[in-house]
């Protein structure tokens, strides 16, 4: 037996990080064409080993099915590759000509790749492809129970990368795996980023390492079958997702929430699709098996067939059964089937109406699955949109298995084996991880306006803002206010004078008229200058308009009678000239 295994693991981690760093110094200068050739060669080679790696994974871990793990390996090597092959991840990756900004890709650096026991080879394939697409180098730390299969996947990809011209030590893997070694890898000063997939302890360790990290939270996926759904397809999808690789994907369905009016149809379809509904005694036995005394999940049931799980619980089921279904009775630690089970065990709830189902789904997600995934089977677009808008999950799969839809196998989301849960799940992102998450973007920004222009603009904006807040009166404002007051005064004076003239008042009124007009004229803005033209005795509005047409002035003095409408128009158009 190897002594001081932890020290050996720590030393391996340190050496491999140093090697990866040296490789990075060369690899970061590779062109997009060189990188794409390396990635293509890796994907091509590992595709040919998809089934062998799946067999190794099942044999070493005891989890899942060879056929389904083969599909996952092919998904990582083929579907993911097709999605990322044309991505720009080197040098100039975008240019905004209008704003004169150029985006330049820079590798994140040395990436610590932490892989799980549930999906040991497909996760390694996916992460290595994405990392090298961004010109990063990697050190892989396998799960202690999946060392051989994970290291073999890394070795196949490394040989393919070297054949395509990649630098030595661009891909590295720890063979003596311990918690101490993995911790040393994550905390090494030359480790730049962590890609962690695993249990809550591994993810917490990644986030507490002091390094940038992409970790993923657990999934506790509810699947709601609403009354307008195609029930036969919905149940078939749910059972397909639940039983894929015996339920080890964290986005597999954990609970079926049934709309009450279609309960009978749903139960019938479950039976048709190989589901077994537990009786009370069987449910009690299964609860005792699923949950440990510490309230955590019993790892012995993970990725096992329903027959093995039933036998472990103390009862038997027919050979054709593919899924166990039971009523938890509630959600929480006192209801074992309501947790994430990573096995072909499905919780069953019934609710009357989508609003009640909505609350049940939120309750399930809140018990260990916040931010991850859920699915809805419905043909009511309003209900679908309500779930999309308000459910605390960042992948809501519609009318498709959540297992396959969440990773991008049956939907249009980016194909990925690493699914972020956002801040509700304690993650830095809610995205499906792609190579674009594993590069830094440098921006070359050219001047589009000078500092003088900015100062002028800011000054102008400040003046405008000040004017909007408290409008200060200008000279023109004061003049207009003055003229308005004068017009009212002159109108009153002239109207009074005309009335006196029409009524043929006593002779003394002529003197009064002159005094009144002289008083009002002083208030009026007439042009004051000596003119040789005749002085008008009486001016009406038509006289003013004719003068405007002929571009003439009208000479007035204290004896001129001006009608109110002529006075307003003539003053506005500056027609009058005062005769001294």
Cα gap 258→264, rounded to integer Å = 10
Q: Which helix (H) or strand (E) holds 171?
A: strand 171-173
Cα gap 443→123, rounded to integer Å = 32
* Cα 379 → chain centroid: 26
Q: Which helix (H) or strand (E) holds 561?
A: strand 561-562
Long-range Cβ contact pairs of 77-81 (< 8 A, separation 24 or more): 77/43, 77/46, 77/47, 77/50, 77/125, 77/129, 78/43, 78/47, 79/408, 79/409, 79/415, 80/43, 80/125, 80/126, 80/129, 80/130, 80/415, 80/416, 80/417, 81/39, 81/40, 81/43, 81/129
User: Among 90, 130, 151, 250, which one carries the catalytic annotation?
Assistant: 250
The values of phi and psi at residue 444, to 5°, are: -90, 110
Residue by residue, DSSP assigns 34-77 as HHHHHHHHHHHHHHHTHHHHHHHHHHHH--S-HHHHHHHHHIII
Q: Look at residues 553, 252, 219 and name the one whose alpha carbon lies nearest to residue 405.
A: 252
CB 384 within 8 A of CB 356: no
Residue 163 is classified by DSSP as H
Residue 250 is a catalytic residue? yes
Q: Is the dihedral of CA 456, 460, 466, 471 positive or negative?
A: positive
Q: Where are the alpha helices (DSSP H) in 102-230?
A: 120-133, 147-163, 179-187, 200-207
Cβ atoms within 10 Å of 163's Cβ, excluding its own: 13
3-class secondary structure for 430-467? CCECCHHHHEEEEEEECCCCCHHHHHHHHHHHHHHHHH
Per the structure block, which two tokens stand in for 135?
């010109």
Q: Look at residues 268, 224, 181, 279 and name the one whose alpha carbon lies nearest to residue 399.
A: 224
Give the three-state DSSP class for 543.
helix
Residue 251 is classified by DSSP as T
* Cα 96 → chain centroid: 22
Query: Residues for the chain: how many in total?
Result: 580
Residue by residue, DSSP assigns 256-322 as EEEEGGGHHHHHHHHHHTTEEE--HHHHHHHHHHHB-TTSSB-GGGTT--HHHHHHHHT----TT--
CB 221 within 8 A of CB 346: no
CB 397 within 8 A of CB 406: yes
Residues classed as catalytic: 250
């Amino acid at each position: 037996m190897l002594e001081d295994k932890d020290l050996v693991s720590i030393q391996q981690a340190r050496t491999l990080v140093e090697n990866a760093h040296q490789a990075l110094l060369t690899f970061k200068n590779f062109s997009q064409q060189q990188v794409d050739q390396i990635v293509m060669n890796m994907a091509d080679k590992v595709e040919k080993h998809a089934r062998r790696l799946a067999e190794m994974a099942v044999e070493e871990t005891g989890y899942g099915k060879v056929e389904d793990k083969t599909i996952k390996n092919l998904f990582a090597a083929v579907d993911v590759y097709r999605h990322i092959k044309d991505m720009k991840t080197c040098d100039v990756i975008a240019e905004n000509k209008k704003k004169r900004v150029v985006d330049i890709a820079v590798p994140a650096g040395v990436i610590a790749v932490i892989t799980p026991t549930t999906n040991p080879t497909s996760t390694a394939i996916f992460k290595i492809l994405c990392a090298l697409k961004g010109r990063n180098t990697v050190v892989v730390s396998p799960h202690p129970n999946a060392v051989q299969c994970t290291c073999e996947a890394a070795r196949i990809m490394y040989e393919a990368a070297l054949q395509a011209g990649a630098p030595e030590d661009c891909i590295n893997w720890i063979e003596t795996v311990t918690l101490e070694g993995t911790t040393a890898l994550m905390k090494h000063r030359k480790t730049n980023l962590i890609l962690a997939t695993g249990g809550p302890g591994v993810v917490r360790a990644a986030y507490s390492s002091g390094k940038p990290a992409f970790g993923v939270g657990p999934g506790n996926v509810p699947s709601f079958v609403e009354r307008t759904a195609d029930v036969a397809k919905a149940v078939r999808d749910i059972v397909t997702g639940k039983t894929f690789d015996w339920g080890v994907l964290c986005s597999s369905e954990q609970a079926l929430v049934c709309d009450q009016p279609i309960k009978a149809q749903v139960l019938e379809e479950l039976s048709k699709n190989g589901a077994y509904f537990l009786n009370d005694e069987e449910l009690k036995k299964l609860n005792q098996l699923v949950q440990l005394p510490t309230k955590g999940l019993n790892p012995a049931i993970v990725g096992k067939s329903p027959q093995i799980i039933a036998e472990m619980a103390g009862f038997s089921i027919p050979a054709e059964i593919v899924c166990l279904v039971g009523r938890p009775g509630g959600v929480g630690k006192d209801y074992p089937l309501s947790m994430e089970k990573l096995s072909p065990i499905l919780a069953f709830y019934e609710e009357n109406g989508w609003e009640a189902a909505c609350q049940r789904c939120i309750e399930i997600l809140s018990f260990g699955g916040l931010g991850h995934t859920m699915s809805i089977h419905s043909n009511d677009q309003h209900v679908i949109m309500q779930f999309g808008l308000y459910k605390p999950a960042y992948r809501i799969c519609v009318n498709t298995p959540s297992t396959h839809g969440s990773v991008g196998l049956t939907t249009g989301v980016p194909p990925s084996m690493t699914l972020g849960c956002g801040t509700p799940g304690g993650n830095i992102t809610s995205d499906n991880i792609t190579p674009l998450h594993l590069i830094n973007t440098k921006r070359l920004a050219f001047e589009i306006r000078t500092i003088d222009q900015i100062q002028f603009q800011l000054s102008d904006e400040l003046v405008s803002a000040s004017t909007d807040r408290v409008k200060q009166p200008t000279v023109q404002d004061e003049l207009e206010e003055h003229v308005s007051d004068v017009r009212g005064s002159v109108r009153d004076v002239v109207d009074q004078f005309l009335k006196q003239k029409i009524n043929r008042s006593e002779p003394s009124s002529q003197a009064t008229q002159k005094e009144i007009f002289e008083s009002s004229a002083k208030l009026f803005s007439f042009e004051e200058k000596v003119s040789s033209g005749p002085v008008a005795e009486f001016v009406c509005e038509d006289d003013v308009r004719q003068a405007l047409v002929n571009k003439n002035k009208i000479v007035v003095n204290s004896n001129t009678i001006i009608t109110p409408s002529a006075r307003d128009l003539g003053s506005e158009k500056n027609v009058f000239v005062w005769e001294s």
